[in-house]
């Protein structure tokens, strides 16, 4: 029988075991990483899910990530932190950053944390949601490997540089905007490459700056980074006509908040000696703006007005950001986490490599 779904808890335990035994992650780091990966698949974001085992294997195998390393605080004020990741995996680094950010924000009302020399930290929304769960506005940015080209440029210099903001509204789901500043995250191109190799026009351009639907060549160009020309397009496309300069500006803003404020590595220099990835986390208490209950209720009412507005012909619903992922997660917890055949095969391949039982 073809495998399709697996229980959430079983997949978490399996991935933690794979990371601990196969990549020598410390037990706690393996568990933190596994949960974040499974959460992505449970929400329908396979681009950031368990198939990422290949990326983390490559990071460790190439000496760019050190599973035993521990993050440390290198600068601190009552409302800010700078954290040196020491090339540790991005998930335990982010766990430290979020925990300390929340601690300071609860005491002072706000905390802003810049992180340098980390590694891939998964889905930005996973971290922002935890801040909103504590009743605060969560902001999470990260730079990435170089994947995208600036407006009017040809050279691949910036990352997909996602922006995520989660706002508590007194009920679940929170309002949560989680978006790459490129038309899609690189992970979606990698998923397209695994599932047949074709992607839509408008996601990326080739080395000559021409539109391409070849997901395999774009994914491999990013992975091997042999030719710096061509890459992903920012929101709005290659020119100013549809606002490509705006998406490019957002990507550049993320670069400044992450690599700039941390004195870290910009996307165009990541994945050399170390991963070198930089993050930014912020937690803001609602009571800085007044009574938190009134604020949550007011914002929820604004969102409800939009949800209940007139729908376009043929459409059943107007969504608010965060709803689709929340509902998909609820379904996954009841019915199991769906994995595509390419992901099952990848897990089997790495189970064989690590001499572990297949899932």
pLDDT digits (tens, 9 = 90+) for 248-274: 999 999 999 999 999 999 999 999 999
Across the chain, what does the average pLDDT equal? Answer: 94
3-class secondary structure, 77: strand
| The predicted structure's pLDDT at residue 222 | 66
Residues 191-209, mean pLDDT to the nearest whole number? 85
Q: Buried b / exposed e across 53-87, counting CB within 10 Å, b at 16+?
A: bebbbebbeeebbbbebebeeeeeeeebbbbbbbb
Which residues on adjacent β-strands are paired with residue 229?
155
Predicted confidence at residue 317, as pLDDT, reads 96
**CA–CA distance, 262 with 256 (Å, rounded to integer):** 9
pLDDT at 224 over 70: no
Among the ranges given (39-53, 184-198, 285-299), the one the predictor scored with the smallest mean pLDDT: 184-198
pLDDT(102) > 60 = yes
- Whether a cis peptide bond, with omega within 30° of 0, leads into 173 is yes
CATH fold for domain 184-232? Wheat Germ Agglutinin (Isolectin 2); domain 1 (3.30.60)
Q: What local confidence, expressed as pLDDT, does residue 223 receive?
A: 64
> DSSP labels for 302-316?
HHHHHHTSPPPTT--
pLDDT attached to residue 187: 79
Question: Can you name the residues that pair with 232 across neighbouring β-strands?
Answer: 148, 204
Looking at the predicted structure, is the pLDDT value of residue 338 above 80? yes
* pLDDT of 1 above 60: no
152 C-beta neighbours (distance < 10 Å), count: 11
Query: What are the angstrom distances between the C-alpha of 12 and each of 89, 312, 349?
Result: 17, 40, 18
275-316 pLDDT per residue, tens = 999 999 999 999 999 999 999 999 999 999 999 999 999 999
Sign of CA dihedral 304, 308, 309, 314: positive
Burial per residue of 297-327, b for 16 or more beta-carbon CB atoms within 10 angstroms, e otherwise = eebbeebeeeeeeeeeeeeeeeebbbbebbe
């Amino acid at each position: 029988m073809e495998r399709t779904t697996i229980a959430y808890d079983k997949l978490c335990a399996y991935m933690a075991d794979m990371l601990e035994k196969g990549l020598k992650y410390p037990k706690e780091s393996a568990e933190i990483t596994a949960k974040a990966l499974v959460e992505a698949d449970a929400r329908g974001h396979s681009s950031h899910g368990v198939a990422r085992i290949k990326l983390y294997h490559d990071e460790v195998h190439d000496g760019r990530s050190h599973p035993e390393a521990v993050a440390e605080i290198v600068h601190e004020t009552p409302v800010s932190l700078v954290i040196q990741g020491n090339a540790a995996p991005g998930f335990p680094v982010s766990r430290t950053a979020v925990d300390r950010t929340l601690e300071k924000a609860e005491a002072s009302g706000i905390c802003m944390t810049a992180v340098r020399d980390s590694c891939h930290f998964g889905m930005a929304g996973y971290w922002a949601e935890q801040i909103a769960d504590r009743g605060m506005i969560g902001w999470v940015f990260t730079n990435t490997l170089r994947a995208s080209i600036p407006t009017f440029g040809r050279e691949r210099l910036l990352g997909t540089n996602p922006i995520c903001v989660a706002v508590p509204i007194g009920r679940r789901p929170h309002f949560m905007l989680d978006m790459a500043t490129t038309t899609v995250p690189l992970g979606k191109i990698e998923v397209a490459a695994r599932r047949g190799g074709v992607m839509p026009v408008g996601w990326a351009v080739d080395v000559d700056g021409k539109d391409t639907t070849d997901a395999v060549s774009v994914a491999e160009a990013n992975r091997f980074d042999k030719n710096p020309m061509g890459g992903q397009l920012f929101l709005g496309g290659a020119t100013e006509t549809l606002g490509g300069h705006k998406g490019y500006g957002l990507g550049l803003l993320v670069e400044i908040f992450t690599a700039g404020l941390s004195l870290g590595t910009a996307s165009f220099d990541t994945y050399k000696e170390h991963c070198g990835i930089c993050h930014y986390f912020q937690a803001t208490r609602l009571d800085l703006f007044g009574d938190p209950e009134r604020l949550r209720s007011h914002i929820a009412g604004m969102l409800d007005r939009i949800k209940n507005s007139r729908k376009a012909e043929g459409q059943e619903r107007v969504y608010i950001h965060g709803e689709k992922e929340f509902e998909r997660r609820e379904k996954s917890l009841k019915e199991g986490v769906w994995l595509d055949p390419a992901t099952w095969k990848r897990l089997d391949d790495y189970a064989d490599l690590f001499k572990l039982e297949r899932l």
